[in-house]
Amino acid sequence: MNSQILLTDETHASTESAVQPEKLLARTPNDGPCAASAKLIRVAVGSFRFEVRDLHLQRGRHTAIIGPNGAGKTTLIETLLGLRQVHLEEAQILGIPVAHFLQSTQHRKRLGVQLQRVEYEDSSNVREILDLHQALYGKQDPQVAQALDIDALRKLPYRALSRGQKQRLDLFVALAHHPEIAVLDEPFTGLDRAYIDRVAHLLRHDWLT
């Protein structure tokens, strides 16, 4: 595997060249717990090899993972969320060991996640998905709903949603409860220019890491 991947953030423009995944180093952590960190992440699936050392994603910043298709961007995200069985050393979310964090319902509520591959039952409708989110998190910010025009989707069956409409629903589920950390995998996919601008505005809110 000879792909390249780069971490950068909104506060400090990166001047580093893209590096090999096995040599990926993020920035030095600031005081207090990082949003996410790991001493070592090692993935080996078939011919795919991916290794990250000394990863520190700081709180209060928008961190982008940049690289070509197949470089391991989604793999890194899914690994930190416990969605892949990989070798992890000293991995933490908000200063808490990943395994403990993900086993705790209260801790999981501190996360907001939008992945590329999310599907609900074809028999589901949007109202049921929104009600489930409300029951799980107990909070839905009307500003997020308005920005993503969720009311226009509320009565629709899930199977009738377009790619862009599904993306809006997924982003609402990720952001509406004001998570301490939002993990978004290609959040602008399928959105038109107006919604891209609205999502970009939402991501600037102070409550979001």
Provide the residue ranges of all domains of the chain, joining segments of one domain with +: 4-12+24-206
Q: What is the pLDDT of residue 176?
A: 96
SS3 assignment for the chain: CCCCEEEEECCCCCCCCCECHHHECCCCCCCCCCCEEEEEEEEEECCEEEEEEEEEECCCCCEEEECCCCCCHHHHHHHHCCCCCCEEECCEECCEEHHHHHHCHHHHCCEEEECCCCCCCCCCEHHHHHHHHHHHHCCCCHHHHHHCCHHHCCCCEHHHCCHHHHHHHHHHHHHCCCCCEEEECCCCCCCCHHHHHHHHHHCCCCCCC
The rounded percent of the chain whose pLDDT value lies above 70 is 83
Q: For 29-38, write each residue's pLDDT tens digit.
A: 445 678 888 8
Task: Please provide residue 184's backbone torsions phi and psi, each rounded to the nearest 5 degrees.
Answer: -120, 125
Lookup: tokens for 38: 């790991």
What does the alpha-carbon distance between residue 120 and residue 95 come to, in Å, rounded to a whole number?
Answer: 32
Q: What is the pLDDT of residue 18?
A: 38
**Mean pLDDT over each residue of the chain, to the nearest integer:** 82
- Give domain 4-12+24-206's CATH number out of 3.90.1150.140, 3.40.50.10330, 3.10.20.30, 3.40.50.300: 3.40.50.300
- pLDDT tens for the chain, 209 residues: list them: 445 555 555 543 333 333 344 444 444 444 567 888 889 888 887 787 788 888 888 888 888 888 888 777 888 888 888 887 788 889 889 999 988 998 999 999 999 999 887 878 878 999 999 999 999 999 999 999 999 999 999 999 999 999 999 999 999 999 999 999 999 999 999 999 999 999 999 988 766 65
Lookup: tokens for 178: 């004001």
If one counts every other C-beta atom within 10 angstroms of the C-beta of residue 99, the result is 12
Q: What is the pLDDT of residue 12?
A: 38
